[in-house]
Amino acid sequence: MKIGIIGTGNMGKVLIQAMIDSNAVHASDMMITNRSPEKVNRIKQHYPQIKIARHAVELAKNSKFIFICVKPFQIYPLIQQLNDVLTENHILISITSPISTDELEIETTCQIARIIPSITNRAFSGASLISFGKRMSDENKRVLTGLFEHFSQPVYISEEHTRVASDIVSCGPAFISYLLQQFIDGAVRQTSISKELAIELTSNMLVGLSNLIEKNYYSLETLQEKVTVQGGITGIGIEVLENEVGEMFDQLFIATHRKYAEDREGIHEQFSKS
């Protein structure tokens, strides 16, 4: 399996690490490229057998599965650059939500997939969101799904749910991390606990919580029920959350969908040029 990764920013690097470290792909079967040579050279120091392409066209000529890990508005010009070398035997995979598989199929002759990863895939866990284009063969669907099964739980997503699913799976770790930081900072401000100890205890709590869910001991709803005693301390804390959180998460999803709509408008302008 010849894998090419265009773009080695945060998520591109996560995919490289997850694929190689989970033994889904051997480093010698992967080629990477980035506009910044320093980034790819640092990756090669860690994975000496990985190949570096001078540019995206060289990578496309030497790869069958090509992952595009660049910013959404960089994808259209990149595809125009690659079209002279892309064929129906290439499989082009975008990891960004604003561009649909239909739009990518219109611009290319190759087979198309959109697979949105999560930073949790770095630990061989969490979901990856998969949508296949109409030209994708059953065999290549099987290969791609099997590839991501090495380090994630593949979930097939419709166009309608792509944004909200990405909010939960891809953006969610950042959102929850922010809330946990606020949780820790509140404890430090209101008590004499050190930040270091609060971080340690919160991190251990989070790992234990995920284990309880992973092993199906409790659901999120039953976890709250098991810990909360009527009139007890946890119950008082829940009352504060109920009063303070309000429509915060409603506003979060409204904001992310508004930004998505803005991105979609710009993407549509790009792709309607053809």
Enter the pTM of the model. Answer: 0.92
How many Å apart are CA 35 and CA 43, to the nearest integer? Answer: 14
Predicted pLDDT of residue 189:
98
pLDDT of residue 252: 97
Q: Does residue 132 register a pLDDT over 70?
A: yes
pLDDT tens digits, one per residue of 142-185: 999 999 999 999 999 999 999 999 999 999 999 999 999 999 99
Confidence (pLDDT) at 169: 96
**Residues 6+ positions from 226 with CB-CB distance below 8 Å:** 218
59 Cβ contact partners less than 8 Å away, ≥ 6 residues apart:
4, 6, 31, 32, 33, 53, 66
Ranges 72-76, 90-94, 114-118, 217-221: which has the least confidence: 217-221
**Residue 1 above 90 pLDDT?**
no
Q: Does 274 have pLDDT greater than 70?
A: no
Question: pLDDT per residue over 181-200, tens digit each?
Answer: 999 999 999 999 999 999 99
